[in-house]
Structure 1
Amino acid sequence: MLSAPTHARMRVPLASLLLLSACASPVWNVELDEEYQGVVSELAAAVKQEMGTKKIPALSIALVDGERVVWAQGFGLADAEEGRVATADTAYRVGSVSKLFTDIALMRCVENGSIDLDAPVRTYLPSFQPVSEFETLITLRHLTNHTSGLLREPPVGNYFETDAPSLEDTVLSLNGTRLIFEPGSRTKYSNAGLAVVGRVLEVLHGRTYPEVMTDLVLQPMGMAESASLERNATVIPRLAKGRMWTYDGRSFDAPTFELGMSPAGSLYASVLDLAKFMRGLFGHLPGHKAEVLQPSSLETMLTPVQAADGSQLPFGIGFHVGELDGHRRCGHNGALYGFSTELAYLPEEGLGVVVAASLDGCNSVTRRLADHALRLMLAALADRPLPRLANSRGINPARGKQLAGLYQRDGHQARLTWDDDRLLLEMRGKICEVRDVGGRFTVDDRHSFGTQIERLDSKSIAIGGTPYTRVDLATPPPPCPPELVEYVGEYGLDHNVLYIRERDGQLEALIEWFWIEPLAAAGPTASSSPAGADCMPRRRYGFAGMPMEPLLRRSWVKWTLNAARSAPLKARRSR
């Protein structure tokens, strides 16, 4: 249950920090609360360290203690060409953090009795007819906690489609898809599911999704003048320029098209906006009035769902629910072209943090900084020594070259490569940089952190404590087999290229610039991913113009590359 925080503080209303008079200058950053001076000193140093080693263009952060924003600041350049600095008021595309707003709007309808979470979706949206072989019907609760069995991406309006179709057309496209599993039996993250929730809200209120969200969430939380669900005149002058990157060192501007599945990830907001939002999550605090939801409704959202077998799943209604050093940690992250966001808070302690960055795929960094911030705040309030974020530095070339090589264990491979003065680990579909963190060789880059590597002897290493044995590479690999040459090339659209490559006689796909998946032969003109592996990375699934259903199953995926070459996924340049 939600309870009062264990620390008592004089609480200055957040509105008094952020509201501006008609003649006042804009508030770019929130001045440091003296109580958190040591916290901010350490945290600012950690932010600068991570931005430097990970080459993050812009990052903004806000700390919340109950009704107070105790610190908010931007770092770096929101737009390098314009020389525009990042501030706490800089707007970011916050991706899947948007889902929390959609779900809170839904819960407001539950509170007023217009929606029943456990009623079948067809009660409110009769046109919703995905193919199902199961007796259990999808409910709104299933959609919000990712147990619906729907695909991750809708065939229309998905993460890869640039046409920005209507929400109605996006949801209607699900009628040609088949459920992956029985609703309520397990978790499968689904952007499509939140699109359906948004469409239900549209139909229920007879208004567009942005209009409904403004009335139910943005306006009551004081965000209607700054945050937006559309790219408009309020957002554009304050928006950071998102950047994409590849594992081989390229960097380029992120695409800016809108998503058809807007309820799943279309919010533009600053960390100050999200700090206001977080204030609405602290209605249980003494003297704090619930702004949009009653504490009982919020507790429902923060209660993890149970699977059919009784096991606890990681989602409540919208919120990811976990633990940080024994404290309940709730929130959500966001990953959208060129942007990475982390919103996290400790409901019992009344503490929260928001971190937003203008770089694609650096959620490992934003989460690590968010957790570090929460640990610092907890330590300060308990009068304990403040923790430090370990320094990270490059590896000595001699030691890095000594470790380089191919290793294997039980048929699984790990490849260490010394490249451009970096030690890179390729393993489990990722290429990650290995750095010296506190004297230990540790995976530490934009999208991964923590796995440690130790040299056991001249022929073996331990990766995450598991021993791997070096493979003799004295014999050069054979040339690409003729039957595979025709598949090698680039597929898809410029903003999200799919690369098919050959290595050691096998095909592999490089997806979204830095995710690698092996392909295994499934017939004379087809390839598939191995059993038990997702063809796409866990955070994003499916390609526009390609069959969505097989791409989402953890099974042998029937992926006909010849068919993939037809528009819009036609081969771009053969290699």
Structure 2
Amino acid sequence: MKTLITIITMALSSLFVNAQMTSEKEMQKSLDNSIPVALKENNVPGMAIAIIKNDRVIIKKGYGFSNVSLGVKVDSKTGFNIGSISKMFTAWGIMKMVEDGKIDLDTPVSTYITKWKLPTSKFDEDKVTIRNLLQHTAGLSVHGYNGYESKEELTSITKSLSGNSREEEAVKLIMEPESKWQYSGGGYSILQLIIEEVSGETFGDYMQKNIFKPLKMKHTSFNIDKKILKKSAKAYDEEGNEIPLQLFNAQAAAGLHTTIDDLILFAKASFSKNTVLTEKSISLLRTPTELSKGNYGMGYMEMNRFGDFTLHGHGGSNEGWHSGFMLDFESKSGIIILTNGSSGRNVLFGGLKDWAQWHGSN
């Protein structure tokens, strides 16, 4: 993910060049011309995009195919896996528990979990808190996760944390907490366990009840069931060949499935008063840490190297999927891009580039 953050930043930092697009129609025309070409050149079957300007959705469109063999086209209701953007939602789930008085950001995580413990190390595990798990400053291993091709291969989050599912999934304390920023999907797996133990529910059920249902996100879920799969796009590799959908024990880090329509609801809820989190809590999640050099808060990346506006959000990538969710909170604007191909980052960054050039000039 550090690589993804770097690529997004580089793409956005070189935007203000030559002609400026001055109208929404010109932006739409630019996308209509460039995206189909980019999809074809990169063997990416489909893409969904939404652009918000001043809290108003000005573009919402699908390009290409969600299912090539059946000729099903992408639309705003097509489901996509969004990879590490899942972490942003997990952060909302944790902050909801904080607001409800069920957990404290600065209490050692060992206070809340009984089913698994960090392996003994030379570092101080009592310094591992919910706050530094969210910030990727807890000193933990496991950058990211590979998925599983069938539900039968899935186990519990505790077995994943222990490395019983796969050895490389074992989460360990590898440096002193609060000494360095190091991206750790493993830290979000601990947050998943905390939500399960404190709520007494599965992680997916808690998120459905406390985050997605109140925000009316009816087609968003960590529980990948028949309802979600019915409208889901297929995943495709770098050559454009269909591959199996990857499922995750580490749902909190990488397992969320959603649609452009639902992400628009989330974006608009983020900009204004909503039924889940206060404005103060959302601001806290977005605020970057010094250890991240101003690039990461709690579940949110921050980017401000490309003009007079700052973006907050996250990128996501799993095998067969690439996505981006970036918001300018000051102007209540943003862009959401979802793709169903392993080479989707090339299409993604082209769309981000066009949008940021247009956004910066309007």
* TM-score (normalizing by structure 1): 0.55
**Aligned to 1:301, which of 261, 264, 285?**
285
- Counterpart of 1:197 in structure 2 is 191
Deviation at 1:94, TM superposition (A): 0.9
- Counterpart of 1:291 in structure 2 is 275
1:76-87 correspondence to structure 2 within 5 Å:
76-87=64-75
Deviation at 1:114, TM superposition (A): 1.4
Matched, 1:226 2:219: yes
- Counterpart of 1:108 in structure 2 is 96
Deviation at 1:177, TM superposition (A): 5.3
Cα offsets for 1:284-330 (capped at 9, x unmatched): xxxxx2332211111111111122xxx72421000011113231111
Matched, 1:359 2:341: yes
Larger helix fraction of residues: 2
CA distance in 2, matches of 1:78, 1:220: 28
Larger strand fraction of residues: 1
Cα offsets for 1:336-384 (capped at 9, x unmatched): 12111011111111101110111014324313312421331342xx3xx
- Counterpart of 1:265 in structure 2 is 254
The answer on whether the counterparts of 1:152 and 1:188 sit within 8 Å (CA) in structure 2 is: no
Partner secondary structure for residue 355 of structure 1 = strand
- Counterpart of 2:19 in structure 1 is none
Change (3 A) 1:291 1:44: farther
Cα offsets for 1:191-226 (capped at 9, x unmatched): 111111011011111000111001111011111x21
- Counterpart of 1:320 in structure 2 is 301
CA distance in 1, matches of 2:246, 2:287: 35
Deviation at 1:53, TM superposition (A): 2.3
- Higher relative contact order, chain-length normalized (CA < 8 Å, sep 6+): 2
Change (3 A) 1:90 1:183: same
CA distance in 2, matches of 1:262, 1:295: 26
Change (3 A) 1:92 1:295: same
Matched, 1:159 2:140: no
Give the RMSD, CA atoms, in angstroms: 2.2
1:501-516 correspondence to structure 2 within 5 Å:
none
CA distance in 2, matches of 1:113, 1:66: 34
- Counterpart of 2:58 in structure 1 is 70
CA distance in 2, matches of 1:168, 1:260: 9
- Counterpart of 2:269 in structure 1 is 280
CA distance in 1, matches of 2:110, 2:349: 37
AA aligned to 2:335 is V
1:48-447 correspondence to structure 2 within 5 Å:
48-126=36-114, 127-135=116-124, 137-152=127-142, 158-159=145-146, 161=148, 163-173=153-163, 178-223=172-217, 225-245=218-238, 250-283=239-272, 289-307=273-291, 312-323=293-304, 324-379=306-361, 382=362
AA aligned to 1:240 is A
- Counterpart of 1:511 in structure 2 is none
Deviation at 1:264, TM superposition (A): 0.7
CA distance in 2, matches of 1:52, 1:90: 19
Partner secondary structure for residue 360 of structure 1 = coil
CA distance in 1, matches of 2:88, 2:170: 27
The answer on whether the counterparts of 1:345 and 1:353 sit within 8 Å (CA) in structure 2 is: yes
Deviation at 1:58, TM superposition (A): 0.5
Partner secondary structure for residue 150 of structure 1 = coil
Deviation at 1:77, TM superposition (A): 1.2
Deviation at 1:181, TM superposition (A): 1.5
Change (3 A) 1:142 1:130: farther
Higher Cα Rg, which structure? 1
CA distance in 1, matches of 2:359, 2:295: 25
CA distance in 1, matches of 2:161, 2:25: 49
The answer on whether the counterparts of 1:99 and 1:194 sit within 8 Å (CA) in structure 2 is: yes
- Counterpart of 1:485 in structure 2 is none
AA aligned to 1:293 is L
AA aligned to 1:118 is D
Count of residue correspondences: 331
**Identical-pair percentage:** 24
Cα offsets for 1:255-309 (capped at 9, x unmatched): 32411111111111111111111112102xxxxx2332211111111111122xx
Cα offsets for 1:40-72 (capped at 9, x unmatched): 122222222322322321011011235432221
CA distance in 2, matches of 1:103, 1:160: 21
Unaligned runs of 5+ in 1: 1-34, 284-288, 383-575
CA distance in 2, matches of 1:43, 1:352: 15
CA distance in 1, matches of 2:175, 2:73: 47
CA distance in 1, matches of 2:64, 2:38: 12
Unaligned runs of 5+ in 2: 1-22
* Superposition misfits of 4+ residues, deviation over 3 angstroms: 172-178
Partner secondary structure for residue 175 of structure 2 = coil
Matched, 1:42 2:23: no
Change (3 A) 1:131 1:368: farther
AA aligned to 1:159 is N
Partner secondary structure for residue 128 of structure 1 = coil
Cα offsets for 1:379-435 (capped at 9, x unmatched): 2xx3xxxxxxxxxxxxxxxxxxxxxxxxxxxxxxxxxxxxxxxxxxxxxxxxxxxxx
CA distance in 2, matches of 1:36, 1:186: 43
Q: Which moved more, 1:316-325 or 1:43-52?
A: 43-52
The answer on whether the counterparts of 1:131 and 1:176 sit within 8 Å (CA) in structure 2 is: no
Deviation at 1:153, TM superposition (A): 5.2
